[in-house]
Structure 1
């Protein structure tokens, strides 16, 4: 069994994540994200998607980066074929 290093749960289906030369053991993706996912410098959410980085500073979106004075970042503006996601 694998003991999660975040919550201590001893779970038969635990898993390992190898990153930056280290091995981490978790019982669920939520615990893995809690420990490994970067946090947005502005809103403090966990960045589970692509996110943005500038000089070692992490942001979930360009809006949060602008609030913190980082103006050179932009969200991905390429649209997939078809109607806009928010158009209704």
Structure 2
């Protein structure tokens, strides 16, 4: 059976995630895939699951965190 790259679980329903650059990973859950490939918010450190915010090559989970990190002119809602 395929083994998860993150937790090592041997699971018959594991799946592969192939990124645009060709990097592959095998995971037994979306949780493990998120821990492996989701970007991290530069301000609070949480994994960004969703659109988040990006400014000048820096990633944030929300406008609040981006503002606290010094980014100006970004809002969650307008």
Fold conserved (TM > 0.5)? yes
2:48 aligned residue: 47
Q: Which structure carries more strand by proportion?
A: 1
Q: Is 1:58 aligned to residue 73 of structure 2?
A: no
1:33 aligned residue: 34
State the alpha-carbon separation in 2 of the partners of residues 67 and 23 from structure 1. 34
Give ranges in structure 1 of 5+ residues lacking alignment: 79-88
Which consecutive segments of 4 or more residues in structure 1 shift more than 6 A? none
> Which structure is larger by alpha-carbon Rg, 1 or 2?
1
TM-score using structure 2 length? 0.91
State the alpha-carbon separation in 2 of the partners of residues 22 and 62 from structure 1. 29
State the alpha-carbon separation in 1 of the partners of residues 41 and 26 from structure 2. 24
Q: Is 1:6 aligned to residue 24 of structure 2?
A: no
State the alpha-carbon separation in 2 of the partners of residues 72 and 21 from structure 1. 35
CA RMSD of aligned residues (A): 1.2
State the alpha-carbon separation in 1 of the partners of residues 38 and 64 from structure 2. 19
State the alpha-carbon separation in 2 of the partners of residues 25 and 14 from structure 1. 7
